[in-house]
Amino acid sequence: MDVDERINTIRAVWRDGDYSKVGELFAPVSDRLVAALDDELGLAGREVLDAATGTGNTALALAQAGASVHAFDLTPELLAVAERRAADAGLPIVFKEGDLLAIPFPDGVFDVVVSTFGAFIADDHRACVSELVRVCRPGGLIVSTAWAPTGLFAALREVPIAHHPELWPADRPDPDDWADPDRMAAMVTGLPVDVEVTTHVHPFWFSDVATALGFLEEVSGPVQRIRVGVAELGGDWDALRAEILRRWAQRAVVADGGVALDGVYGIARLQVHADP
C-alpha cells in the first residue's frame, strides 16, 4: 500500500458513521485521565500534545486545565469538529492534520504527550511509540489509553475475526499490545523510557445490549467497516452480531433499569528519561 492509499484508507474508516457520538461515550475517560494528570503534575502552563485527538475530547479537557495544547489527527472531518468545539468553549488549542507515524512537531517540545484510544490503533506500533518519545522532552511523560482484550470492545473485533481471519491482515499490529505490560515493555525496547501499564474499567450504560450494538452499528466507522468486510467475504453479520450479543450479555451488569457494559482499558505511562 503506498502512502496516499494508507492515509486515505485510515481517513475513510474514521469519517464514516458519526465519531462525535462515540466520542461522547469516551469523554469521561479523558476527563478522569486529565484530572489525574493535573493532580499529579499540575497542567497549567505546560506544553501538552493530544495525539490522534479525534473530535477533541482530551485536548479540550487539557486546555480547560490550563495547559498550552497542540493536537493533531489524520481525519480532517473530525478535526473540524474538534476545532468548532474548542472555538465554542473559547479554548485556544492549536489543531493540525498529522500522522501518528510522522508526528508534525519538532523533537522534545512537549512536557506531556497524551493519546486517548488513538496511538493503540496505529498501523505500526514501534514507529508510533518512537514518534511519541521523539516529540516529548527529556523527563517528560507520555500517557496512552487502549481498550483491553476483555470487555465491550474485545468481542466486537474478536468475534468477526475468529470467523473471518482475513479481516485482520497478518502484518497489522494488535491493538491489545498497548494494554499489556509485557508487550508494551517489548515495544519500547531501546527507547529512553520506563513503562508501566495499569488496568481500568469505564462502564457504558445502555437500556440493553441490543441497543448498545445497534448504536455502534449506526455511529462507529470501524464497526461499519467490519460489517462491510464480513459481507464482502460472504459472511453472515446477523449470526456474528448474535454471538457478540451473547458475549456481552454474559458480562453485562443489570442495574437501574439498564445494563452497564464494561469498557476495560489500559493506561500505558511512558516516563521519558531525564538524561536519554
Question: Using the rule CB under 6 A, is 57 a contact of ligand SAM?
Answer: yes
Q: Closest distance between ligand SAM and the C-beta of residue 96, in Å?
A: 10
Q: Closest distance between ligand SAM and the C-beta of residue 121, in Å?
A: 6
Nearer to ligand SAM by Cβ, of 118 and 140: the residue is 118
For ligand SAM, which residue of 95, 110, 117, 178 counts as binding (CB under 6 A)? 117
Nearer to ligand SAM by Cβ, of 10 and 249: the residue is 10
Nearer to ligand SAM by Cβ, of 12 and 239: the residue is 12
Nearer to ligand SAM by Cβ, of 54 and 235: the residue is 54
How many amino acids of this chain bind ligand SAM (CB under 6 A)? 22
Query: Interface mask (CB under 6 A) for ligand SAM, residues 166-195, using x and -?
Result: ------------------------------
Cα separations in angstroms, 35 against 30, 67, 113, 141: 8, 12, 15, 15
Question: Using the rule CB under 6 A, is 23 a contact of ligand SAM?
Answer: yes
Nearer to ligand SAM by Cβ, of 147 and 235: the residue is 147
Q: Closest distance between ligand SAM and the C-beta of residue 275, in Å?
A: 30
Question: Using the rule CB under 6 A, is 99 a contact of ligand SAM?
Answer: yes
- Pick the piece of the chain touching ligand SAM (CB under 6 A) from 39-47, 118-126, 170-178, 189-197: 118-126
Nearer to ligand SAM by Cβ, of 163 and 200: the residue is 200
When computed from its CA atoms, the radius of gyration of the chain, rounded to whole angstroms, is: 18
Closest of 108, 147, 103 to residue 124, by C-alpha: 103
Name the residue type at position 152: L
Nearer to ligand SAM by Cβ, of 58 and 235: the residue is 58
Q: Which long-range contacts (CB under 8 A, 24 or more apart) does 15-18 make?
A: 15/75, 15/77, 15/78, 15/221, 16/221, 16/224, 16/225, 17/218, 17/219, 17/220, 17/221, 17/223, 17/224, 18/218, 18/219
**Are 267 and 201 within 8 A, CB to CB?**
no
Closest of 273, 97, 123 to residue 193, by C-alpha: 273
Q: Nine-digit cell at 214?
A: 445497534
* Site for ligand SAM, rule CB under 6 A: 10, 14, 23, 26, 30, 52-54, 57-58, 73-75, 78, 99-101, 116-118, 121-122
